Amino acid sequence: MNFNITRRHLPFALFGSAAAAWQAQAADAVTDFYKGKTLSLVVSSAADGGYDRLARTVAKHMFAYIPGKPEIVVRNMPGAGGIIAANYLANTANKDGLVIACLQANTAVEPLLGTRQAEYDANKINWLGTPSVETGLLMVWQKSPVNTIEDATKTPIKVGASGHNSAPAFFARLLNETLGTKLEIVVGFRGQSGAWQAMEKGDIDSYGMTYWSSLTSAKKKWLQDRSVRFLVQYGPERVGELANVPDALDLIKNPADKAFFEAATAQLSLGRPFAAPPGVPAERIAALRKALMDTFKDEKFQRDVRRIGLLVNNPRSGEQLQQQIANIYRAPSETVSRLRRLANPPRS
């Protein structure tokens, strides 16, 4: 075999060989690190919800794609709309690559919104990827007197939320401000499941904001029985099954309000993001990002998520999420000010 490497080509050949050797050495180091170890996957919500089911399904398959094949143990850390878990990931968790998290998308923007509990820099967190983007919905229970989004601009309806500054309350205020709806926010519910139970009892009409993916995974019977009516949808992708449900952006006439709505809902493009703490060695972040994306492509994983009704409709890499979050934080100052007023309104 004649390689025919001239003196002119020799430095480049040596450089390429050295780079390949470095990459192989880095891969071996990652394998050695993870071999025989246990990786913690923190879920920022309670057990048995959509996020929990997703995280446990990811854990079941992802270990095989991480060099060294570490065991993955899932831990639930609910509270404050995911902020407790995000604070833990950013400030307390070991920065060695043995802790990752499945977070709510809103955690990435809470610092931008001026949420005092959010004690982290979202741009310094290492985002690993997401299996999907989210579509937000305003829906009402079947016995509600409201049938359309136009009805909701005339007839007040009660919508549940965990807290005054929670994501469902934020999105309810967003719809009130841009569409003129009359959503009356009722706080104190134990997350989505608590509000949904109150809907079934007739105590409230709706939850402040529901993801389509949450319904397909946790409330298939509602969809089959048509227990809820959908008034409006919003987010980066329309739901094909809800073709007759209007998109909020199509209803907003004021250009400034439309631009503001797009900024406020940008977080939905982050889907259900997985992340690692700041400061984890770059080669381990690269390995985790690749392992997560390989998991999303795995046929057995896809079969499992379909069986339990979870969506893997638009996987995005960690690099894509990192760039998307950086773009969100470049929003004009006037937009940020308006977002903060919406997220932290004066309490009556």
The CATH topology of domain 136-267 is: D-Maltodextrin-Binding Protein; domain 2 (3.40.190)
Residue 317 confidence (pLDDT):
98
**Spans of all domains in the chain:** 15-132+271-331, 136-267
Residue 181 confidence (pLDDT):
98
Locate all alpha helices (DSSP H) within 242-311, ordered by sequence: 248-251, 255-264, 282-297, 299-307
Handedness of CA 267, 343, 157, 204 (dihedral sign): positive
On the question of pLDDT at 16 being above 80, the answer is no
Task: Report the C-alpha gap between 336 and 260 in whole angstroms.
Answer: 9
What's the token pair of residue 332?
Answer: 């004009």
pLDDT in tens, 223-245: 999 999 999 999 999 999 999 99
Same fold, 15-132+271-331 and 136-267: yes
Handedness of CA 268, 49, 161, 102 (dihedral sign): negative
Task: Report the C-alpha gap between 161 and 151 in whole angstroms.
Answer: 21
pLDDT in tens, 280-296: 999 999 999 999 999 99
Task: Report the C-alpha gap between 293 and 62 in whole angstroms.
Answer: 9
Q: Which of 25-34, 79-88, 122-131, 192-201 is least confident?
A: 25-34
CATH number of 15-132+271-331: 3.40.190.150
pTM: 0.85
Task: Report the C-alpha gap between 314 and 316 in whole angstroms.
Answer: 6
More confident residue, 174 or 45: 174
Pick the closest to residue 59 from 114, 99, 18 (CA basis): 99
Query: What is the full DSSP assignment across 84-140?
Result: HHHHHHHHTS-TTSSEEEE--GGGGTTTTTT-TT--S-TTTSEEEEES----EEEEE
Residue 320 confidence (pLDDT):
97
Phi-psi region of 68 (alpha: psi -120 to 50; beta: other; left: phi over 0): left
Residue 21 confidence (pLDDT):
56
Question: For residue 98, what pLDDT band results from cuts at 50, 70 and 90?
Answer: very high
Residue 137 confidence (pLDDT):
97
**Element (H or E) spanning 322, and its range?**
helix 318-328
